[in-house]
Structure 1
Amino acid sequence: MTQSLTIARPDDWHLHLRDGAMLQAVLPESARHFARAIIMPNLVPPVVTHADAAAYHQRILAALPADQSFDPLMVLYLTEETDPEDVAAAHASGLVKAVKLYPAGATTNSASGVQDFDKVRGVLEKMAEIGLPLCVHGEVTNSDIDIFDREAVFIDRVLDPIRRATPGLRVVMEHITTKDGVDYVKANDSDLGATITTHHLIINRNHILAGGIKPHYYCLPVAKRESHRLALRAAATSGDARFFLGTDSAPHIDPLKENACGCAGCFTATNTMALLAHVFEEEGALDQLEKFASRNGPGFYGLPVNTETLTLTKSDQPTQFPEKIASGDGPVTVFDPGFPVYWDVA
């Protein structure tokens, strides 16, 4: 028997669209289901200035199919040379909705990120003044810190000191992967939110390493122990307004994933909503899916909830998702949850 669920059209509060041929290939996958998305700025070169963001915004709109509607919410890449006044002008224009902090070397195309946080204090103070959120990739990059501990250490060494030094700064902890991240958000006020990805609700570190290395499950931050995955599930399905969907859908062509030094990232734009319905049903929380995917994010960013709707249906036959998406640069593998999914978008 068919089961259905209709929710306000969702948004994606952490999305990689890349550029050029890859942008043209993956943008329709997100625009099919999502009304808006926070667009990651870690291109080469990165989107650093208001002018960079405006130019990238135009390239995204030019790549959007005529029969789709989609609002790219632009983000500036924080560097040690970022000009606070340029940030303020970008925000005042309505184009830029956040600034992204990448610790240098933390993830794909993060070499231009921050090493000396004192050098960005003026930018952070300006952002607190004007109410512009800071999105953080929350990992330290010190070689002496175990990769599975980098999120927890970042909270103690970097994030908490930044927030204490900059009262009023609104912060999104992006793609949290640990119980430590969940607990830190829950212990703080409404100026702090967190996105949770689809894939971190489904995989733990065993999926990457047990029985051979699975490159299409490798992402940064890397998936953690099962206890952390369960904490993320509890947070996502709780209805708590501080947790919302950010897929971190990150396309890489197969040759760059399946090599001796494979790129980090899971491409989930195509099947995220069906997978979330599966997860929320497993947790007995289908009634909370709309909050997580459609309401909590706009609430944090001060934007209206979408008036359009999206309907998910469940059938008695497994949904067949495409294995790959073709791009002019090469094939991109769609995230495979490893189990049958009976939900799909109508």
Structure 2
Amino acid sequence: MPDRNLTRLTIRRPDDWHLHLRDGAMLRAVLPETTRHFARAIIMPNLVPPVVTAAHAAAYRDRILAAIPEGDTFTPLMTLYLTEATDPKDVRAAHAAGIATAVKLYPAGATTNSASGVRDFEKVRPVLEVMAEIGMPLCVHGEVTDHEIDIFDREATFIDRILKPLRKKVPDLKVVMEHVTTQDAVDYVRDSSKNLAATITTHHLIINRNHILAGGIKPHFYCLPVAKREAHRIALVQAAVSGDKRFFLGTDSAPHTDALKLQSCGCAGIFTAPNTMSCLAEVFDAAGKINKLEDFASLNGPRFYGLTPNEDTITLTKGDPVSYPAHIDTEDGPVTVFDPGFDLHWRVEE
């Protein structure tokens, strides 16, 4: 039966391999939007101050666990924020104790709360060598931050200038290129024989740079890395629906209040946690590849991280359009939910 004829699909419960939960009131408000459908998530460490040590990660994990709604099951997979002062011994201990699943590399200044990130990559090489030894993945925000490099070229430049040399120096290091946005990144992953994978976000499968800029600036479509040309979006869709085990879901769902988004220098981030599975099903269905959704959302990520796919399942059904709230309320203010710009016919059965 052709995929487009399917109206009901049961898949293993998905995981989110790139998620921002923030902290405090925002954490308590947005976490239920993830735990409703997802079993696990890689939690980003760019708090203020950042989650740098094993002790920080353990404390943050406890706050997340305390905020899980009653009746939901969810495992936060913690990351450590890599700085030039990160202690390799602490990283080793955090991994051995099951506190930290991965380490996150932010080039200094690349995105929200990244000022503590890396400027001199040689200074973190001892940490990377320990990670390669113990099999701990490095999650990479793959953009250079040089002002002379056009913002639309920063991912491709990062691959050539930073990532290729780094992987040659530490070839056994497992690397996840997070939230890839270009054909360049897709090709680089496909051309690599081992130890490299990439996450793709919900929103980058749907929007291109016209969505942000054409007909007036749309702050709720502004994210980093910024969405690129339509040709790049198509390349991301082709990678996602291919079933290639090196590509998997990382939503990069990133909540900011409307007050922080709608200003002269608004924050980068798109909040997709509530409707991601409906959006993804729509994208995969339109491509005639709805049967590949389980690979992308539920199987490829665990396999790269050396984890077992979830045993429990979710079921999506196709029918009349499903609606989602335009925003969720938090004690800090409303957070706008991603609007894909088209009807969503797939819903997760509750």
The TM-score by the shorter chain falls in which range? over 0.9
User: Which of 123, 130, 134 is equivalent to 1:126?
Assistant: 130
Q: TM-score, normalised by structure 2?
A: 0.98
Q: CA deviation at 1:65?
A: 1.0
Amino acid aligned to 1:264: A
Q: TM-score, normalised by structure 1?
A: 0.99
The superposition leaves residues 105-162 of structure 1 with CA deviations (integer Å, 9 ceiling, x where unpaired) of 0000000000011110100011001110000000000000000000000000001110
* Inter-partner Cα distance in structure 2 for 1:11 and 1:179: 24
Q: Do structure 1's residue 111 and structure 2's residue 115 form an aligned pair? A: yes
* Inter-partner Cα distance in structure 2 for 1:326 and 1:166: 45
* Inter-partner Cα distance in structure 2 for 1:322 and 1:189: 43
- Residue 286 of structure 1 aligns with which residue? 290
User: Which of 214, 223, 227 is equivalent to 1:219?
Assistant: 223
- Residue 145 of structure 2 aligns with which residue? 141
Q: Do structure 1's residue 99 and structure 2's residue 98 form an aligned pair? A: no
- Residue 327 of structure 2 aligns with which residue? 324
* Inter-partner Cα distance in structure 2 for 1:167 and 1:209: 40
- Residue 229 of structure 1 aligns with which residue? 233
Alignment of 1:33-182 (within 5 A): 33-182=37-186
Alpha-carbon contact 1:172-1:193 (below 8 Å) kept: yes
Q: CA deviation at 1:190?
A: 2.8
* Inter-partner Cα distance in structure 2 for 1:30 and 1:166: 34
Alpha-carbon contact 1:190-1:242 (below 8 Å) kept: no
User: Which of 319, 338, 342 is equivalent to 1:335?
Assistant: 338
* Inter-partner Cα distance in structure 1 for 2:173 and 2:230: 32
Amino acid aligned to 2:245: A
SS at match of 1:336: coil
Q: CA deviation at 1:2?
A: 8.9
Amino acid aligned to 1:203: I
Q: Do structure 1's residue 16 and structure 2's residue 20 form an aligned pair? A: yes
In structure 2, relative to structure 1, the CA distance for the partners of 1:2 and 1:191 (3 Å cut) is: closer
SS at match of 1:76: strand
Amino acid aligned to 1:101: L
Amino acid aligned to 2:132: A
The superposition leaves residues 274-300 of structure 1 with CA deviations (integer Å, 9 ceiling, x where unpaired) of 000000001110110000000000000
* Inter-partner Cα distance in structure 2 for 1:7 and 1:60: 26
Amino acid aligned to 1:157: R
Q: Do structure 1's residue 239 and structure 2's residue 243 form an aligned pair? A: yes
Q: CA deviation at 1:189?
A: 1.8
The superposition leaves residues 22-62 of structure 1 with CA deviations (integer Å, 9 ceiling, x where unpaired) of 00000000000000000000000000000000000000001
SS at match of 1:220: coil
* Inter-partner Cα distance in structure 1 for 2:281 and 2:101: 28
SS at match of 1:99: strand
- Residue 276 of structure 2 aligns with which residue? 272
- Residue 33 of structure 2 aligns with which residue? 29
Amino acid aligned to 2:333: G
Aligned residue-pair number = 345
User: Which of 306, 313, 323 is equivalent to 2:310?
Assistant: 306
* Inter-partner Cα distance in structure 1 for 2:77 and 2:268: 23
The superposition leaves residues 221-267 of structure 1 with CA deviations (integer Å, 9 ceiling, x where unpaired) of 00000000000000000000000000000000000001100100000
Q: CA deviation at 1:94?
A: 1.2
Amino acid aligned to 1:209: L
- Residue 348 of structure 2 aligns with which residue? 345
User: Which of 207, 210, 214 is equivalent to 1:203?
Assistant: 207
Q: After TM superposition, where is structure 1 displaced by more than 6 Å over at least 4 residues in a row?
A: none
Q: Percent identity?
A: 71
Moved more, 1-10 or 106-115: 1-10
State the Cα RMSD in Å. 0.9
